[in-house]
A and B are shown apart, each in its own frame.
Chain A
């Protein structure tokens, strides 16, 4: 695989950019692999990459029913932060943050990771107490964070309405300077390209329709391109986790819900950080292209339709206009939904299952994009060694039986 660099760019410019190598191949599936990853989203591709890179397991197939990164990876608002409340969660997201910080270099692919900082606004005394508690917890865990007052916030985001007479006045915020955004597609493509270069087969347009087991062990998967054998299968299918679990006769503590987002027409640069508010429920950033990227709340009902109800985005627009009156005239360009796999405690499941060789990595729900590198890292380790990675020990499926839930609802400021 050729390296991307300023020299390769110049060289290819001479041939009018017509001779770039394909970033990966689209092979026919082999009969047998050491590991099959179901789901070619960011998490699945990252898992395949770390299996090859950290564990030398390269006889791996990623089986994707659509195209790479076309699920929630393509649909999210790309907010990255690690300021979660509880030790277990914050350590997992912080691992991810550290991996993000070196990812473009590691993958030789610009994932456009931009540490522009994340503000989580507080609008009530209780919000401010929760923020102080969370920031203190973060700092004890070695994660950057500050509690800001209104004057400091106003300096960072001049357009934000901090008037004391607004309906839900801004009283302060938590500020994580290392937080920010990344380019969603680039993350999937970067992992895909780097994994393929180490020998991983990326098989697109190939839907898994069954999981074959024998004597309590997984032996492979039925797909639209025939049976593919493997002694280990990792399921990383986000919103479709329940569907794939049912193929193995299992249920999960997960419900799939629509989550919506939208982008505006492109504007001149006006917002150079990420602003989130749990109380009025909206979150917003501006992409490098100039569009405002706005995320809504999760719809209340189970749904696989990749669309939600209009009143949900209407509420979000109300919140955004309340926070940024200047945006009230901006027109929205596109709106869409993804299917998020929500867990009762808003934390993921990275786990072995009762079927030997069958693993699940799911439940990242409304906030898993930020976790893409860390999720792949700990899941690859879990699959390779057939035991949870130390940072994933608290996230096994057994916590729903033992009762050791990790309640990150609201504790992390806002759900994304």
Chain B
């Protein structure tokens, strides 16, 4: 079970309070009408699916219900940081996770 820090509540809570929402920093198309089918496919479905450090969105669904981002290692599951939406993540830790 992951222990996740919600940057809004400033609380470290158990994973069951949170819902995973996939890869972070995918911005919604500004001009949807101008998008080709391939652009739509890319936006909706295609993902990096990173093996290693991964920026991802979580929602504190049983708490403040707000979305935030987490940098987590997808092999060790180690969490490096949580940060509010709209902010930039810290530089990634060097090398592999512990």
Contacts and interface: CB of A to CB of B under 8 A. Distances in A.
A344 B54 CA distance: 19
A284 B82 CA distance: 38
Contact of A302 (B14, B40, B46, B49): B49
A294 interface: no
B41 A255 contact: no
Given A240-B51, A242-B47, A401-B37, A309 B75 contact: no
A243 B51 contact: yes
B56 interface: yes
A305 B52 CA distance: 10
B61 to A, nearest CB: 11
Interface stretch (A101-109, A174-182, A246-254): A246-254
A311 B16 contact: yes
Contact of A303 (B46, B48, B77): B77
B46 A251 contact: yes
Contacts of B19: 300
Given A309-B15, A311-B1, A400-B41, A255 B74 contact: no
A305 B97 CA distance: 12
Given A305-B75, A309-B2, A400 B45 contact: yes
A355 to B, nearest CB: 16
Given A305-B75, A311-B16, A401-B38, A252 B49 contact: yes
B37 to A, nearest CB: 5
A400 B40 CA distance: 9
A310 interface: yes
B51 A304 contact: yes
Contacts of A304: 51, 74-75
A301 B42 CA distance: 20
Given A344-B45, A400-B46, A242 B38 contact: no
Contact of B74 (A241, A251, A303): A303
Contacts of A242: 47-51
A302 B56 contact: yes
B38 A301 contact: no
Contacts of A309: 1-2, 15
B41 A253 contact: yes
Nearest to A301: B20
A310 B2 CA distance: 9
Interface in A272-323: 300-305, 309-311
A251 B16 contact: no
A72 interface: no
Contact of A252 (B15, B22, B37, B46): B46
10 A-B pairs with least C-beta separation:
A242-B49, A253-B45, A300-B20, A401-B41, A309-B1, A251-B46, A400-B45, A301-B20, A400-B41, A304-B75
Interface of B: 1-2, 14-16, 19-20, 22, 37-38, 40-42, 44-51, 54, 56, 72, 74-77
16 contacts: A241-B49, A242-B51, A243-B49, A243-B51, A246-B48, A253-B41, A253-B47, A256-B74, A300-B19, A302-B54, A302-B74, A303-B75, A304-B74, A344-B44, A401-B38, A401-B40
Given A252-B49, A253-B47, A304-B51, 16 more contacts: A241-B49, A242-B47, A242-B50, A251-B46, A253-B41, A255-B22, A301-B2, A301-B20, A302-B20, A302-B56, A304-B75, A305-B74, A305-B75, A309-B2, A400-B46, A401-B38
